Amino acid sequence: MLVLFALDNFVIDIEALFNYMVLNFNALYVFVGFFLSELLMGIVPPELFIAWGLETLNPWIHMFFLAALSYISGIITYWFGLMLYRIPAVRKYMYKKYSNHLFNLRRWGGLFIFAGAMLPLPHALVSFLSGLIKFKFRHYLYWALFRFARFFIFALIMMKLF
Domain count, the chain: 1
Calculate the CA dihedral of residues 109, 114, 117, 118 and round it to 10 degrees: -150
pLDDT at position 83 is 95
pLDDT at res. 3:
65
Domain hosting residue 87, numbered range: 2-161
* Distances from the Cα of 106 to the Cα of 10, 34, 90, 129, 131, angstroms: 44, 29, 17, 10, 11
Per-residue model confidence as pLDDT tens digits over 11-47: 777 667 767 777 788 889 889 989 998 998 877 888 8
Condensed to tens digits (0 to 9), the pLDDT of residues 97-109 reads: 877 777 778 788 8
Evaluate if residue 7 carries a pLDDT over 70: no
User: Which of 154, 161, 160, 145 is CA-nearest to residue 53?
Assistant: 154
